[in-house]
Structure 1
Amino acid sequence: MELKNQEDQYLSSVKNALRILKSFTMDEPEKKVSDISTSLGLNKSTVSRTMATLASEGFVHKDPETKKYSLGLSLLSLSSIVNSNTDVYRESYPVLNRLVENLGETAHISVIDKLEVIYLQKVECNHPVRFLTHVGRRNPPHCTSSGKVLLAYADEELVNAVLEQGLEKYTKNTITDPDKLLANLKEIKKNGYSTSFEELNEGVNSIAAPVYDYRGKVIAALSVVGPKQRIQSHKVQGFAKKIIAATKEVSERMGYRG
């Protein structure tokens, strides 16, 4: 019985540590113990002990002046290992570079993770406009071009899970009707690419196409994002053609033979 309690306490501590690490974002890169305690509903003493342990292993760093914590270099080394062993991350980089040079807009590689779109790779253009995207950023799938492409080729179970969690409205163009989204997904699969015209952020448009692996399974989306002044509706076909050509090259690098 005592051993079981010790195991439960250990697992609880690990879970708390992981929750704390995942609470850091680009919007909140630094946090005090009190901030973490409030946002996660954990006791301050528990958070303090956990942060001390994480700091001793280099997973977080404490600023001696502000008393705020930020993520440490140990996580950076782990992320490098993950990136170097993620085929789509490695194989897409040179293709994204050429596409950005060709189109003059920022490009991403993204995947679905826990009903969200997460960006694995980003190559920025020479004239970037500030968008809410960065490697590791999570966005909703129903209002992003990459997310809709991934949903269009996903299992019915995943699509239903996204619908069940609700289609939050971000702009006047966000699709919030499940039937309209399903119809849009069918059209995307028919066309081979997706668009998002100010569906997540005002003034921001994007176009995406699917990336396949050696099994013929869609494993990622390649998207190009830019301001509505540069990615206009009459340019969609031209952009889509080049994006699809890029996804074809990435897919072939992943072993896809179509």
Structure 2
Amino acid sequence: MDHSNHNDYVLSSVKNALRILNSFSLDEPEKKVTDLAKSLGLGKSTVSRLLSTLASEGFVTKDHETQKYRLGLSILNLNTIVTSNLEVERESLPVLHKLVDDIQETCHIAVLDGTDVIYIKKVECKHPIQILTHIGRRNPAYCTSSGRVLLAYQDEQVVRRILGGELKAYTTKTNTDPETILNLIKKAREQGYTVSVEELREGVTSISAPIRDYTNQVVNTLTVIGPTHRMNPANLKGYIHKIISAANEISVRLGYRKRH
């Protein structure tokens, strides 16, 4: 099988696996291999193979008495993530607007995905700069303030695995030493925020604080990104206080209650 044919085969398999998942409904929550094969126009062996793969990843589960398949817990996990992100976007918006009006810098909500952070919400100030933070943008976690805050609440084994990969220097100020970054991550958890100065892009500074949900888990960060000449050491303390306060307000809106 040549490379192009292999790619077509893989894409076809992915598409058919998604068709299988989409075939389940409230009216038909369980289906047999023969039912799926007939309704989707696929061979029984193809459906059986795809179901086995989906089952191995927890996307479907099989009832061995009825020989029927139903959606698995991995679908629920994905739904929880999507629902959580939608709720964060909704609850954070008024707080973001208020903070932008106050400090006149662009604010973001970010989430951790693997080794990267993804920006899922953004409210720009009146004088934004061209920075790499559009919605949906991925940036490396190790050299961004949002990433280091989110990594601060992951298991250390997860963090070390991420830091064991390639750590690219984007500027002369990018920290690429794993132990140095690990210490910065630990410090972020201790102080409840972190600052990244020109590590991803020259002339750009970011400050991030954690956002918690009703389960007390850190699910997102509130991140303010702006030019270093405006976010300078002289006014950094004021920025930090307001960002932490806004992140706490969003957390409360998500149902977080501080535990004593």
Q: TM-score when scaled to structure 2?
A: 0.68
8 A contact 1:209–1:243 mirrored in 2 = yes
Q: What residue in structure 1 maps to residue 174 of structure 2?
A: 174
Q: Helix, strand or coil: the match of 2:234? A: helix
Question: How has the CA–CA distance of structure 1 residues 85 and 240 changed in structure 2, closer, same or farther, with 3 Å as cutoff?
Answer: closer
1:153-232 paired onto structure 2 within 5 Å: 153-232=153-232
8 A contact 1:115–1:161 mirrored in 2 = no
1:229 partner letter: H
1:119 partner letter: Y
Counterpart-to-counterpart distance in 2, 1:213 and 1:126: 30
Question: How has the CA–CA distance of structure 1 residues 156 and 102 changed in structure 2, closer, same or farther, with 3 Å as cutoff?
Answer: same
Percent of aligned positions with the same letter in both sequences? 52
Counterpart-to-counterpart distance in 2, 1:85 and 1:128: 24
2:155 partner letter: D
8 A contact 2:145–2:194 mirrored in 1 = yes
Question: How has the CA–CA distance of structure 1 residues 15 and 148 changed in structure 2, closer, same or farther, with 3 Å as cutoff?
Answer: farther
Counterpart-to-counterpart distance in 1, 2:206 and 2:217: 23
Counterpart-to-counterpart distance in 2, 1:250 and 1:211: 7
1:255, distance to aligned residue in structure 2 (A): 0.5
| 1:205-229 deviation per Cα after TM superposition (whole angstroms, max 9, x unaligned) | 0100000011111000100000011
Count of equivalent residues: 188
8 A contact 2:119–2:134 mirrored in 1 = yes
The yes-or-no answer on 1:142 pairing with 2:138 is: no
1:97-136 paired onto structure 2 within 5 Å: 97-136=97-136
Q: Helix, strand or coil: the match of 1:117? A: strand
Counterpart-to-counterpart distance in 2, 1:195 and 1:222: 12
Q: Helix, strand or coil: the match of 2:225? A: strand
Q: Helix, strand or coil: the match of 1:142? A: coil
| 1:143-168 deviation per Cα after TM superposition (whole angstroms, max 9, x unaligned) | 11111111112222321221122221
Q: What residue in structure 2 maps to residue 236 of structure 1?
A: 236
Counterpart-to-counterpart distance in 1, 2:94 and 2:240: 19
8 A contact 2:100–2:106 mirrored in 1 = yes
Counterpart-to-counterpart distance in 2, 1:151 and 1:101: 29
8 A contact 2:164–2:178 mirrored in 1 = no
| 1:48-82 deviation per Cα after TM superposition (whole angstroms, max 9, x unaligned) | xxxxxxxxxxxxxxxxxxxxxxxxxxxxxxxxxx6
Counterpart-to-counterpart distance in 1, 2:85 and 2:218: 19
8 A contact 2:197–2:206 mirrored in 1 = yes
Counterpart-to-counterpart distance in 1, 2:116 and 2:15: 21
Counterpart-to-counterpart distance in 2, 1:177 and 1:108: 27
8 A contact 1:83–1:89 mirrored in 2 = no
1:84, distance to aligned residue in structure 2 (A): 9.6
1:218 partner letter: V
Q: CA RMSD in A?
A: 2.3
Counterpart-to-counterpart distance in 2, 1:208 and 1:234: 18
The yes-or-no answer on 1:152 pairing with 2:157 is: no
Question: How has the CA–CA distance of structure 1 residues 253 and 113 changed in structure 2, closer, same or farther, with 3 Å as cutoff?
Answer: same
Question: How has the CA–CA distance of structure 1 residues 13 and 182 changed in structure 2, closer, same or farther, with 3 Å as cutoff?
Answer: same
Question: How has the CA–CA distance of structure 1 residues 15 and 160 changed in structure 2, closer, same or farther, with 3 Å as cutoff?
Answer: farther
Q: Helix, strand or coil: the match of 2:168? A: coil
Runs of 4+ in 1 over 6 A off after TM superposition: none
2:173 partner letter: N
Counterpart-to-counterpart distance in 2, 1:202 and 1:83: 35
Counterpart-to-counterpart distance in 1, 2:208 and 2:139: 14
1:123 partner letter: V
Q: TM-score when scaled to structure 1?
A: 0.68
8 A contact 1:83–1:90 mirrored in 2 = no
Which sections of structure 1, spanning at least 5 residues, go unmatched?
A: 1-7, 19-81
Q: Helix, strand or coil: the match of 1:233? A: coil
- Please say which structure displays the higher CA radius of gyration: 2
Counterpart-to-counterpart distance in 2, 1:196 and 1:136: 20
2:232 partner letter: Q
2:231 partner letter: I
